[in-house]
Structures are given as structure tokens and as C-alpha cells.
Amino acid sequence: MKSLYLLFLLLIVSLFSCKDKGDNYVAIPKKKIPEVVDYNFDVRPILSDKCFNCHGPDANKRFADLRLDTEEGAYSALKESPEKHAIVSGKPKQSEVYLRITTEDTTKVMPPPESNLKLSDYEINVIKKWIKQGAQYQQHWAFMPIAKPTLPEVGKAEWTNNEIDYFILEKVEALDLAPNEKATKEQLLKRVSFDITGLPPTLEMQEKFLNDNSENAYEKVVDELLESKHYGEKMASSWLDVARYADSHGFQDDELRTMWPWRDWVIHAFNENYSYKKFVTWQLAGDLLPDKHMETLLATGFNRNHKITQEGGIVVEEYRIETITDRTNTFGKAFLGLTFECAKCHDHKYDPISQKDYYSTFAFFENTPYKKSSAINAKLRVLAEPPFLSISNQIVKDSLPFVNKKENYKNVDVMVMEELKKKRPTHILDRGAYDAKGDTVTPNLPKSILAFDKQKYPSSRLGLSQWLFSENNPLTSRVYVNRVWQDIFGSGIVKTSGDFGMQGELPSHVGLLNWLSADFIESDWNTKRLVKNIVMSSTYQQSSVVKEEKLAIDPENKYLSYMPRARYTSEMLRDHVLASSGLLSRGIGGRSVKTYQPDGLWKTSSSGRGMLVYYVQDHGEDLYRRGIYTFIKRTSLPPVQMIFDATTRDQCEVRRLSTSTPLQALVLLNDPTVLEASRVFSEKLLEEETSLEYKIEKAFRSILCRNIKPEEKVLFLDYYNKQERQFKEDKESAYDFVNVGEYPQAESDKTKVAALMQIIHTMYNMEEAIVKI
Amino acid sequence: MKKDIFEHHLNINRRHFFKKAAMGLGGVALGSLLVPDLFKGSQEATQQLPLGLKHFASKAKRIIMLVQNGAPSQLETFDFKPKLREMFGQDLPDSIRQGQRLTGMTANQKSFPLVGSKFGFKQYGNNGAWVSDLLPNIAKITDDICIVKSMHTDAINHDPALTFLQTGAQVGNRPSMGSWFSYGLGSENKNLPAFCVLLSKGGGNGQGVYSKLWSNGFLDSTHQGVQLSASDEPILYLNNPKGMNRASRRDMLNHLGELNEMGYKEFNDPEIHSKIQQYEMAFRMQTAVPEITDISKEPDHIKKLYGADCMVPGTYAANCLLARKLSESGVRFVQLYHQGWDQHGNLVREIQGQAKDVDQASAALITDLKQRGLLDETLVIWGGEFGRTNYCQGKLTKENYGRDHHPRAFSIFMAGGGVKAGTVYGKTDELGYNIIENPVHIHDLHATIMHLMGLDHEKLTYKYLGRRFRLTDVHGHVVKDILA
């Protein structure tokens, strides 16, 4: 609603700015007050945003002892004037809420002027109508139990391919729009290949698919991609954001750590299609399972990926608390989609999570040994703070064959979880300060989500995961399904994928989210099946052509009347360049690698201590590994990844931004990775005995994943000839231009290599080359 | 002909930019492009869309922040405590320490022997401000600066304290100050980023600086600080590859523009035009940035003012000169870091080197801005992330000592941009441990800086994950006493 309001303002701006150019913009009609006002979807967002800060769940900051987030609070007599009521069902004029938001008296008006908040006319009218219609409260949508809804009635049922499409089509039709036509086979293959494996389709795949006229050709490709070992890499790249994975400890000296075998496990788990339940349970409590083994133990590295300080001056208890805080916040955001961290210092201001709830959840993570070897002796540096698992060749052979450890390397130490025999007491910390210990609490979880049955579940991380995967937990499935959707469509059904609470955005298709979540649980949390379901839908298979009328009616494409064109993630971008040029090293897993990076970045930002002061670049095949294997030093992040919106790995992140900046253009124009790939691809094409025209067609098909159009071919041919002439005249430039990257140069005519390299490099810079069209 | 096509593209882009804005899709700094009058009368708009608009009139337009990374000792620079010399070697009285937290490095020390500065102090300027002999050039400009001796912070270790100074929170992932100003006030120069970062390193004990210090946090990455260096490639990936000259790059971009335009015809996606726009800005930056970072053409008297070091790329002096040039060209926020101030031991020798690195150039920057008539509209801030203890860390001798971290009191100075020049604000006790007059918290400093830039720190907010965030979180008071 606010976004609509903003949108309206921006529209005024655009009208104003373009008036003199004679542009005609379709005015967006003023938002209509709904016939039946819905508490969750119409009223609560207003109350939550504008009122709950002082009249909400936080008991310590509640004014006039009035709370408006519960029916009981809003209906009861006001403490200060018992003859009045905040809300009187059916009677706005007797409801103090309505009177105070409409009064002209600045001493009485709500919200008070000093809050810098104000209600719009629309918002006031919604509240008025809601009170008139009886002022019915509802439980927050995300906390309601998940029930599988029936499919909505739609007009054009023949368009649908599976259940997803009914929910999408219903809303598209309600806007008087029609879905886009189906994407071309070329577009589809490119899209689905990136969405499932993060890689472009090979030429063989393209050819095979284009020539396969069977009815289930597309489904065959989807199945093939899901079976590819690269599927696990693609899925893992988002999970590493969630798990705040990095190759250094963070903080001051930012020393090396070796958590990569855990990353190899994540890839393995996705490839083996472990159920989401097993996948998460092992990560949260793999050390506590009755039938635990090496693999379940390795999985618990999830909770050791947080930053660790090795700074000299630290107060050990402060950082121990900091560590548990990180685990608690990660738990809240990653699995429950809630901003738990807000309740560390005070009761949550919007969501029903009290400070006591926070520390009760915190208590589950309290009982891990916490030794600070380096705090005592700053000179002693360790890659893994205890407890850790020391992975030997034998262990790899016997139990962890997916860990890509070179045999001649010594043991790799991976930090894992362990439970102390003697439990530590957990205190509520006043204002979150580590030394302000208050009442003790025992492990428990917010009952507003789902009561934690202590008879049924052990009070340990194992019980925590059992609670998480109870079929009555309203959030676990919704949150994960939404993220899988987000990775494919660029935006979740709930756009704020990290906030399913009161302040989060409402789902664009609540029915669809519920259907998918229920179906996911019914399928025993089967991730591959979920992905397949999504990509098999007609919704997914629409073309991404943007139409003017759709831009006007649904400018953000919230209702998916066409497929969004999402820019590649930083990993996809790298992988695409390497794969299409033939440089990609396709091995899975292994230690993280240091590829080309401008000189001096680590050194200028480093304290001068430790093993990561100087960037020691790798060579050979290590230069051509997928983006997921790029070494991540927390205090000096890989620059290209950051320029393309990768996360900082400081804390759990569930969503990446997708921006467009000039720095991105500079990377694609001047980064040696892209230039080297263009050079090597050019050399390879020149070695083939084919016509120039064919070489250009082939390069284009590899990079853009479609056949070149005649006008594009003309342009490239002309450009090539011009370039070849220029490089012939200036041979030195040709030699300089091709002299990029460590991949050995071929014995070809440098002017030709340079000219074709320029053509290929231009292709990599096309907008279409870095979006999933 | 080709050029015409491009002019045409740019026009199309402008149109589509606004269409994009109408879609609420962000991605481009709206800041400098919106017209103030549009929002007259809409309170909500000024709260929610702080785009290129000041909340009230103010003098300062730009900021240069000189971060002395590692925390310089206030007791060796601006906070003169003769009493400490008298009490040399005596234990810190419990009445002063009041049982407060110490860092892990000295908490286990058996005693806390007080130590005064080994360096002389003299009074300077109209108000007789005390300045250490270590800073002879800064001493000469005390009439132009405002020294705050009563700074205090929450954090006791470098990483969180520096993060706090930069982002208003100890834990990472919040936008840096420069990002807030880029977001709030936009850019003044279409060829340069609004927020630039410069790094240098002294010989003293170093502490790292990290890219999260200039992170845009949850704001759009347009507001991210861009690291520049006075080197051959001032911005990462700025230079064309070898073998490609500017004409050849232009030619490539022309071809690229045509290809992308074909793509637009097919897909009609405004993002495609935004992409063309970004390539054009990148192309302009390729000439604009090196012009700025080339300091060789500065006249001799300027080079002399900043000192010989200013001709050595990557030094603090070179960065100060570069900061002036960037700021003069409209860069909203220039952030310098000079590492090496962490004198836990061997303070006497190390701090001399650090002071020598920064003294002349810091003073030169202020003098230079003043001569150009820019000091009024440029706010300069000099200081570290916390202070240092009045007692010795490690072995105390007549010749040498060290000082641990001290968040309870430290000194910074500010100049220009509407700050009351020639003032000394705040006071610590006679042992320099606790503040006894006019404390200024980091949140207050942020509120004051924002005020000087014409922004109300309570109004510049950004809603993220259900909460309206501010640079000052829920704290901060403008220190009115130091406003001119």
C-alpha cells in the first residue's frame, strides 16, 4: 500500500519531468477501498507500520498501557479514561482510534507529530470502514496453520500446466490481463539451464533440444538438468549466503579457515536430493542424532560459519555471547523468516516474540564449548577453533567421499558443533549486554509460532529441529518454498523473504504459497520435486517480453503476467563466461581458489598479520573454477562478486539485491577474466576450419544461447572486418590485446585472434548476455 | 552519425529512466534528479523520499573524513594532562576507574601505572588550545578548527569501534555514513561516485580496514563507497585493456549500443536502457577519474603546502590532496583511512612516525580549502575510533610506554562546514580518564554531522526488514554548542 503510494508520487514526478516531451503516461487510478476490509491484508499493515511501535507487543515501550495488536487490548476500556474504548465494533465515531487519527488537535492527533509518521487519507478510510464492518481481528497470516487450498476458478484453464498456474492466472485475469505467450525453445532452455545448474546450455544440449519435437521434450531436459552434478552447485550458492559461509574468520586479522569440506557437503546433499528436513536437521543437530556419523557431524559446520574474533583485546564472554547471538539470529531468519534479532535487547516491537522468547531460543545454542586459544596467545593462529573434525584421507575414503581433498594435503580441520555435558545456564541479558545478566531461562520457542512441547521434544538442538519440522509449524515450509521461488523468479511470493512477520510484505499469492508449502511437506520436503514443479508451470514458461499495458497496470510484475528478466548472480556471471568460452573447470568441490584480482587489495586492507596479508593467486585449472569456489576473505571481499551484489557473509542473508551500476560495466569491459575467455574462445574458433560467418554464429550461440539474427550478423561481420583492418595496421595493439590471462596462447594470427576476440567480448557485454531472458 | 545515435539513446534513456522510476524499481540514484517543489505540502514524502533534499538550510555540502585508524592517543595529541606526569608510575586510582571494563589485553595486568605524555604541549591560537609538539602544523591552524576532547564510544575493540564510527552500529551490514549521505543528498557530479574512499598506511602498529566500512548495507549499491587510489588504475577495472584505445572503446560501445537497442525492440524492458546508460557513465568515468586523480599538474605551492609525500601515490599526503580534488569536483563524501595508530607498546617511537605522516597534510588540506573559499561548504573531520588509556600497557620505563584502548574519552577535531572555528569543546578529568564536561557520544557526532549537512538525523530513514533505520539508530543529539 505504501509502495503504491510511493509509486503514485513517482508517477507524478515522471509526468512532470516528461511533460514537455509529450509522453503519454497511463495514470494509475487511486487505490480503491476494498468492499470487505480484511484485517490481515488491509488493516494490519497500517496499524503495524504506524501504531504498533508504541501500542504493540513491546511491553516496555507501550504508551498509555494500550495495545492495538490484540482484540482484547483494543476493545477494553482505556486505562486513563475508562468510559472510552480504543475500538468499538461497528462504531468508528465512538472509537478513540478513529477520533485520534482524524483530529485536528495536534496535542491529541495520532501518530504524534514527533514520531514523523502520518496516516494518509486512504489509510484513515480503511480503518474507518474496518471498524464499521465490525473490526474483526485475525491471526497473522504467516502464523496460521498451513492448509492446502483448493485451486481457484480460472477462465482460461487450457493455459495451465500445473496447480501453480491456477493461482497465477486467477490474479492475472482479475487485472484484466492475459499471460504472455510461451517463450521460444531457445529462451526456455537458457532460462531453465541457468535456474537449475547455474550454467548456460552447451551447444550439444541446444541442438538436441531444438531438434527434439516430442511432446515431453522440455520435461526431458528438465529431468536431465536436475540430474546434473552442477545442480548441487547452483542450489548451494544461495545456501552459502544463508549460512554466511566464508574462507576467513573475519574481524581484525581475518585469518584463514578451512570450512570448505562443509561446503562440499552442501553440494552433495543437494545433488543427492536429501529431503529439506534431513538437510536442515543434520546441520542443526547432526551431532546429537542417535545414529550420528561423520557426515551428520560435518553438516553441523553450518553453525560454525559465523565470524570468529581472534583480536587480542577481546573480552571472551562478550564474544561467546556474540557467537550464540549470531546462531540464534541465523536460526530465526534462515528457517523461520523472522527478525529475531529485534528481540535481543527488548521485546519485539511488531512480532509476538518477547525478549524472554529470544533468550529461550538462544538457550538451545548455549551449550557448545567455547575456547579461545588465540585470545590467550595472539601469536598462536588456528584455522579451526575447537571443536573441530580433522578430515584425513582415510575418513574421506571411508565416510566422506564427496569431500574433494587432494591426497597429498594434510588433514583438513572443519569446525563442527558439540554439546557440553554440563549445561550452561542462560540468562536474559538486559539490553543485550553480555554482562547484564537477568533472569535465567530454559530452552523454549515462541508459542506464537508453535508451542514447544517439552514432553515430546528433547530440550536440545535436536528437539529444536523436531519442532521446526513438526507438521504444525506454520513457517518452515513457507519460508523455504518462498526462497526457492525467489531464486527462480527474482522475487519471492513474499517479497521480504527474510521477514514473514508483521512488518514484512504480504504475499502476492497467499493461496499459492500455502499450496506449495503444503505440497512440499506432503512430498516429504522434496526439493528437486519443488524445483521441477515450478519450472514445469506455464507461468515459468512465459516469454519475458514486456508490454506497455502490463507495465502500466502491474509495474513491478508482481502478478507474473510475464516472466521477469532477472540479471545473473555474480556466480552465474563468472560461470557463464567460463563455460561458454570452454574454459570452465567442471570439477566439484575442493579448497577455495584465488583467481585474478587487482593487485594490492588484501594488503592495503590488512592489519599486516596472519596468513592472508598477501593475495597469492592460484594458477592453471584453479583459475577457471566456478564462482562458488572463489576464496572469500571477509575483510577484503572478491571485488567482482561484490560489484555484482554478492553478500558480505557477515551474517545470514536470504536475498541479494540486483542493481545496475557503471562499475558493473567497467568489470565486463576490463576484467581479465572476461577478456581472457574472449581470447581463448577466439583462438579455439580460429583453429576450426570454418567460415568467419560460422565462427560468429557459433560464438553467438554459445554466449547468447540462441541463433543470431540476420541484422546482428551483419553488424558483427562489419565490426569484425573493421577490427581486423585496424589490428593489421597496428599489429602491436593486436599483440597487446590478446596478451591477457595465463591460459597459453595459440599459434594463430594475432590480428585475427584480436579481431574475433573483440567481437566475442562485445557479445559478453550485451545486456541479453547477462540476464535470464 | 554514430554520435547522433548515442545522443538519441541518451534521450530515450532519460525517458525510460523516469518510466523506471515510476515502476518503483530503484537502481539509479534518484537523489540529485528530483525537483524539490514537487514534494511541497506532503509530509510523508519528505519523510519517505529523502532524495536530494536537505531538511533545512545549511552551509556544508560535502564531507572529508580523515579517519586515524587504530586510535591515536588523545594524551599525546590534544588532551594535555600535566598531572599524569606528576603521578608517573603510580597506580590508576580505583576512584577513577570505577570498576569499568578493560580489554582482554590489560585486564590481567597486575598494576595500572599512570604515564604522562613524553611530548611537550603548548597553547596556540586565540583561545589558547593545547596542542602537542607532535603536531606543529595542526597547531598553527587551531583558529580554524574545533577540538572536541569529550568524545566517547561504546566499543572497546578496533573492528566494532571503527564499524560503529562508520555506520552507527557495532555489527556490520548497516550503511556507512557516506552511503547515507549519498542516499540522502545524491551526487553533485554525474561522472564521479558520490562516496569515495582512500586508504594509506603508516609505519605504526596496524589494524585492518575492511570494505564493510564503506558498504551500502541495505541501501542500493549505487551508494556504496568506491575505493580510489592515486595509482595507474584509480578505480578497479577502470582502465581499458592494453591494445585498446579510447576511440576503439567508443567504437565498441557504439556497436554495443546498437545491439542492445535491438534487444530493447524485442523485449521492451526499460532495464536495457538503464544498462546502456551505465555503460555511458563508465565511459565518462574513464576520463573524469584519471583527470582528478592526476596530482602531477598541481602547482608547486600546493605541493609544498601538502609536503613532498603528496607526490608519492598511496601516502596520506597524496590522499589528502586527492581528497580536496574530489571534494572540489562535487564528491559528497570522501573518506580517508590512515592505518598505524595502535600503540600498545613502543608508543614513543611509533607515534612520532604516525604524527609526521599526517600533521602537515591534514593542516594543508584545511588551509587549501580555506584559500579556495571551500572550507565553509566542506566539513572536515579528523579522529580515530576511540582513545587510549592513561596508564601504561606492558613495561613502563622513563623512555617508553604503551597505551591500551580507551573508549571512555578521546579527542577529535572538525573544521569548516558550519562548525564553530577556534573552539575547544568538552573536558576530561585531570587524569584524562573520564569525561567531566559536555560528553559527545558517537551517535551525537553523527547527529551533528548530519545537522551540519542540512539533514535531520531522525528523519533520514530507510525502511528495511520491517524497521525504519537511521544512522543514529534511536539515539543522538545535535551538539548545538559547536555550531557556528
Which residues of chain A have a CB within 8 Å of the CB of B244? 733, 737
For residue A200, the SS3 value is coil
Tell whether A184 lies on the interface with B, counting CB pairs under 8 A.
no
Rama region for A559: left / alpha / beta (φ>0; ψ in -120 to 50; rest): alpha
Residue of B nearest to A317 (CA): B104
Find the closest chain B residue to A754 by CA distance.
B243
d(CA A704, CA A742): 25
Residue A651 and residue B221: Cβ atoms within 8 Å?
Answer: no
Asked if the Cβ–Cβ distance from A715 to B259 is below 8 Å, we say: yes
Q: Pairing mode, if any, of strands B226-228 and B378-383?
A: unpaired
pLDDT for residue A25 is more than 50? no
Can you tell me the distance from the alpha carbon of A749 to that of A734, in angstroms, rounded to the nearest whole number? Answer: 10
The winner for highest mean pLDDT among A208-222, B22-36, B173-187 is A208-222
Helix (H) or strand (E) holding B335: strand B333-339
Q: How far is B142 from chain A (nearest CA, A)?
A: 32
> Residue B428 and residue B151: Cα distance in Å, rounded?
10
Q: What is the pLDDT of residue A541?
A: 98
> What integer pLDDT is reported at residue A381 of this predicted model?
56
CA distance A746 to A687: 9
Residue A244 contacts residue A305 (beta carbons within 8 Å): yes
**How close is the nearest chain B Cα to the Cα of A289, in Å?**
33
Whether a cis peptide bond, with omega within 30° of 0, leads into A111 is: yes
Output phi, psi for B330, to 5 deg. 100, 10
B309-331: average pLDDT: 93
pLDDT over 70, % of chain A: 94
Using alpha carbons only, give the angle A441, A443, A449 rounded to the nearest 5 degrees: 110
Burial (0-12, 13-18, 19+ Cβ within 10 Å), B69: buried
Report domain extents, chain B.
Answer: 2-34, 47-482
A746, three cell numbers: 595459440
Residue with C-alpha cell 553533485? B188
State the pLDDT confidence band at A313, using cuts at 50, 70 and 90: low
- How far apart CA A208 and CA A205 sit, in angstroms, is 5
Chain A, 343 to 362: residues with Cβ < 8 Å from chain B are 349-350
The pLDDT, as a whole number, for residue A260 is 98
Confidence band, pLDDT 50/70/90 cuts, at residue B429: very high
Predicted pLDDT of residue A31:
67
Residue B28: its chain A contacts at CB < 8 A?
660
Q: What is the value of ipTM here, to two decimals?
A: 0.88
pLDDT computed for residue A36 by the predictor = 87
Is B14's pLDDT higher than 60? no
CA angle B466, B471, B476 (to 5 degrees): 115
Please give the full DSSP string across B206-229, using - where no structure is assigned. Answer: -----GGGG--TTS-GGGS-EEE-
DSSP A362: H
- Nearest chain A residue to B228 by CA: give it: A601
pLDDT digits (tens, 9 = 90+) for B64-112: 999 999 999 999 999 999 999 999 999 998 888 877 777 767 777 788 9
pLDDT of residue B415: 98
pLDDT above 70: residue A457: yes
Q: Is the pLDDT of residue A377 over 90?
A: no
C-beta of residue A755 within 8 angstroms of C-beta of residue A748: no
Does A615 contact B at CB distance below 8 Å? no
Task: Check whether B452 has a pLDDT greater than 70.
Answer: yes
Q: What is the pLDDT of residues A671-727, one digit of tens each?
A: 999 999 999 999 999 999 999 999 999 999 999 999 999 999 999 999 999 999 999
| Cβ distance of B235 and A311 shorter than 8 Å | no
Specify the DSSP class assigned to residue A152: P
B47-482 has which fold? Alkaline Phosphatase, subunit A (3.40.720)
Residue A598 is predicted with a pLDDT of 92
Q: Which residues contact A307 (CB under 8 A, 6 or more apart)?
A: A244, A246, A249, A250, A251, A326, A634, A650
State how far the Cα of A475 lies from the Cα of A746, in Å rounded to an integer. Answer: 56
| pTM for this entry | 0.82
Q: Is A496 on the interface with B (CB under 8 A)?
A: yes
Asked if A762 and B38 come within 8 Å (Cβ–Cβ), the reply is no
Interchain CB distance below 8 Å, A607 and B27 = no
At residue B216, the pLDDT reads 85
A11, A116, A559, A745: best to mutate for the B interface, most B CBs within 10 A = A116
Contact A311 B19 (CB under 8 A): no
Q: Which pLDDT belongs to residue B219? A: 85
Q: How far apart are CA B480 and CA B477, in angstroms?
A: 9
pLDDT at A577: 98
Looking at residue A380, its pLDDT comes to: 52
Q: Tell me: the pLDDT tens digits for A156-176? A: 999 999 999 999 999 999 999
Reported as a pLDDT band with limits 50, 70 and 90, residue B390 is very high
How far does A209 lie from chain B, in Å, by closest CA? 23
Q: Could you tell me what percent of chain B has a pLDDT over 70?
A: 88
Is pLDDT at B209 greater than 70 in this prediction? Answer: yes
Extract the runs of DSSP E, i.e. beta strands, from B98-138: 121-124, 129-132
Averaged pLDDT score across all residues of chain B: 85
Query: Average pLDDT for residues A431-459, to the nearest whole number?
Result: 93
Interface test mutation site (partner A, options B69, B207, B221, max chain A beta carbons within 10 A): B221
Residues 6+ apart with CB under 8 A from A32: none
pLDDT at A19: 30
Mean pLDDT for B276-297 is 90
Query: Within its chain, how far is the Cα of A21 from the centroid?
Result: 40
Once rounded to an integer, what is the mean pLDDT over residues A352-361?
A: 94
SS3 state at A135: coil
Question: Is the previous residue joined to A672 through a cis bond, with omega within 30 degrees of 0?
Answer: no
- Pairwise pLDDT comparison (A312 vs A547), residue with the higher score: A547
Q: Is the pLDDT of residue A739 over 50?
A: yes
Q: Is the pLDDT of residue B286 over 80?
A: yes
Residue B104's pLDDT is 67
β-sheet bridge partners, residue B146: B414, B423
Contacts of B31 (CB under 8 A, 6+ apart): B51, B52, B182, B183, B184, B185, B186, B187, B194
The number of residues in chain B equals 484
**Would the CB atoms of A766 and B206 count as touching at under 8 Å?**
no
Work out the average pLDDT over B181-208.
Answer: 86
Instruction: State the residue for C-alpha cell 569499568.
Output: B100
Nearest by CB to A766, from B208, B259, B461: name it. B259
How confident is the model at residue A64, as a pLDDT?
86
> What pLDDT score does B3 carry?
37
B22 pLDDT higher than 90: no
How many angstroms separate the CA atoms of A102 and A115, rounded?
Answer: 16
Q: How crowded is the C-beta side of A278, counted as CA atoms within 13 Å?
A: 17
The CA R_g of chain A, rounded to the nearest whole Å, is 29
Tell me: pLDDT of A14 over 50. Answer: no
pLDDT in tens, B301-318: 999 999 999 988 889 999
Nearest CA in chain A to B154: A433
Q: What is the pLDDT of residues A229-261, one digit of tens each?
A: 999 999 999 999 999 999 999 887 889 999 999
Better-predicted residue by pLDDT, B461 or A486? A486
Q: List the single residue in B with minimal CA-CA distance to A339.
A: B465
The C-alpha cell 574519552 sits at B409
Angle value at C-alpha A704, between A698 and A708, nearest 5 degrees: 55
User: What does pLDDT average to over chain A?
Assistant: 91
Q: What is the pLDDT of residues A487-528, one digit of tens each?
A: 999 999 999 999 998 778 899 999 999 999 999 999 999 999
**pLDDT given for residue B21 in this prediction:** 37
Angle between helices A2-18 and B2-22 (to 10 degrees): 150
